[in-house]
């Protein structure tokens, strides 16, 4: 085992603070990555503050990890020291169930291993995430980062990017399709960029009039303030709506905008449920209400390659590790455009 520097929370009400954690030595199929940057996801805050069930302390969050390979096991084929590498939300799965067989490890029927706060099959205890100096991950769960992209700004692709890319692909965002994106935050701004790059016409829905201009800069054809009932009526029909908002809200307002056979897909995870939508909005026009969780390893690599080809990264604010607690408070207030990324060079020993 080796020691790693990290930032950990020791309880739901204590701030993140420096800590030492243990990492395994690389096994035959493992890759050790020295972490250069780690994105800050809403899931990190929910987990640290125990707003979702099941946080085990100490917790080291972070699942938007990029850096350089510093060691590999003897059987590793795809990586060598010095390579750029990324790790997202998953570090293992059963690899034998039907979902794993289809490259949909995020839906593993025997339980995936999350990058943090998940039982660690190697060391016991829980997995520790990317707010740390290095990480050791089986090569099957390590991604190749496009060299053409700014490394810090590409970190959020590993959660925010794939969370929006996967449903956009699943429901056919592309030329000739009108796609709605609800919410312009860490997820929503990636949804707008990706749907536009796929060739769809994008309509962004926001509660903040101040984000309308930004939505258009990011690639939306139209931006609608969702509290404006007339503007909502005038939004026209949509083939697919990606709802990224992680707070309970009225889903009927969006179901009504779908064409026949259209789908409203939820990717935000609110602490309390949304009010149940009216059944008639589903029955009439055969509409669907769906959900989607991150993406599997093959699709995450496909997304990274797509972003490399199209020059897509996240809009980020780079912060030192010591600013993380302030960043959490600001993120909860939606005071970030659009993703914090930690410069792990500031972690210290
Ligand atoms: Zn995340
Ligand atoms: Zn499985």
Question: 337 C-alpha vs ligand 1 centroid, how far in Å?
Answer: 16
DSSP conformation letters of 8-28: EBSSTTSPPEEEEEEEPPP-T
Positions of the chain with pLDDT lower than 50, given as ranges? none
Question: 294 C-alpha vs ligand 1 centroid, how far in Å?
Answer: 8
Q: Which residues pair with 20 in a beta bridge?
A: 5
The ligand whose atoms approach the alpha carbon of 92 most closely is 2
At 170, which helix (H) or strand (E)?
helix 160-170
DSSP 8-state class, residue 133? S
Question: 161 C-alpha vs ligand 1 centroid, how far in Å?
Answer: 9
Question: 95 C-alpha vs ligand 1 centroid, how far in Å?
Answer: 22
The ligand whose atoms approach the alpha carbon of 269 most closely is 1
The ligand whose atoms approach the alpha carbon of 297 most closely is 2
The tens digit of pLDDT for each residue in 24-43 reads: 999 999 999 999 999 999 99
Question: 115 C-alpha vs ligand 1 centroid, how far in Å?
Answer: 10
Q: What share of the chain is helix, strand, coil (3-state, %, to 5)?
A: 30, 30, 45
Query: What is the pLDDT at residue 118?
Result: 97
Question: 132 C-alpha vs ligand 2 centroid, how far in Å?
Answer: 27
Question: 156 C-alpha vs ligand 1 centroid, how far in Å?
Answer: 8
Question: 102 C-alpha vs ligand 2 centroid, how far in Å?
Answer: 9
For 79, 298, 341, the CA distances from 72, given in Å and listed in that order, are 7, 21, 26
Question: 118 C-alpha vs ligand 1 centroid, how far in Å?
Answer: 14
Query: What is the pLDDT at residue 349?
Result: 67
Question: 221 C-alpha vs ligand 2 centroid, how far in Å?
Answer: 40
The tens digit of pLDDT for each residue in 84-126 reads: 999 999 999 999 999 999 999 999 999 999 999 999 999 999 9
Question: 44 C-alpha vs ligand 1 centroid, how far in Å?
Answer: 7
Question: 188 C-alpha vs ligand 1 centroid, how far in Å?
Answer: 13
Query: What is the pLDDT at residue 89?
Result: 98
Which one, of 73, 77, 62, lies nearest residue 25 by Cα?
A: 73
Question: 279 C-alpha vs ligand 2 centroid, how far in Å?
Answer: 34
Question: 105 C-alpha vs ligand 2 centroid, how far in Å?
Answer: 6
Query: What is the pLDDT at residue 272?
Result: 87
Distance CA 110, CA 293 (A): 16
The ligand whose atoms approach the alpha carbon of 106 most closely is 2
Question: 276 C-alpha vs ligand 1 centroid, how far in Å?
Answer: 25
Q: Which residue has tokens 């739901």? A: 12
Question: 43 C-alpha vs ligand 1 centroid, how far in Å?
Answer: 5
The ligand whose atoms approach the alpha carbon of 98 most closely is 2
- Residue 130 CA from chain centroid, whole number: 14
At 13, which helix (H) or strand (E)?
none
The ligand whose atoms approach the alpha carbon of 64 most closely is 1
Question: 42 C-alpha vs ligand 1 centroid, how far in Å?
Answer: 6
């Amino acid at each position: 085992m080796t020691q790693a520097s990290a930032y950990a929370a020791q309880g739901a009400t204590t701030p993140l603070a420096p800590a030492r954690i243990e990492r395994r030595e690389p096994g035959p199929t493992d890759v050790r990555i020295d972490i250069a940057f780690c994105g800050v996801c809403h899931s990190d805050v929910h987990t640290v503050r125990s707003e979702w069930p099941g946080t085990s302390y100490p917790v080291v969050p972070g699942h938007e990890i990029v850096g350089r390979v510093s060691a590999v096991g003897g059987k590793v084929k795809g990586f060598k020291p010095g390579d750029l590498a990324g790790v997202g939300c998953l570090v293992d799965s059963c690899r034998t169930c039907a979902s794993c067989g289809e490259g949909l490890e995020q839906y593993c029927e025997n339980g995936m291993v999350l990058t943090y706060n998940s039982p660690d099959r190697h060391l016991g205890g829980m997995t520790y995430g990317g707010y740390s100096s290095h990480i050791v991950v089986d090569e099957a769960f390590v991604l190749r980062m496009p060299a053409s992209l700014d490394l810090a700004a590409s970190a959020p692709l590993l959660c925010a990017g794939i969370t929006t890319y996967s449903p956009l692909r699943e429901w056919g965002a592309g030329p000739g399709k009108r796609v709605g994106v609800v919410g312009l935050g860490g997820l929503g701004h990636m949804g707008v960029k990706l749907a536009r790059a796929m060739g769809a016409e994008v309509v962004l829905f926001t509660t903040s009039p101040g984000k309308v201009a930004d939505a258009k800069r990011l690639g939306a054809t139209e931006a609608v303030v969702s509290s404006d009932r007339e503007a909502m009526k005038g939004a026209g029909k949509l083939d697919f709506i990606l709802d990224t908002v992680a707070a309970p809200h009225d889903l009927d307002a969006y179901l009504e905008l779908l064409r026949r056979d259209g789908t409203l897909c939820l990717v935000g995870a609110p602490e309390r449920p949304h009010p149940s939508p009216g059944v008639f909005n589903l029955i009439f026009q055969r509409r669907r209400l769906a959900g989607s969780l991150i993406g599997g390893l093959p699709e995450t690599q496909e997304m990274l390659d797509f972003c490399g080809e199209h020059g897509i990264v996240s809009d980020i604010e780079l912060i030192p590790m010591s600013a993380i607690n302030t960043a959490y408070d600001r993120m909860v207030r939606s005071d970030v455009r659009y993703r914090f990324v930690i410069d792990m060079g500031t972690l210290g020993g």
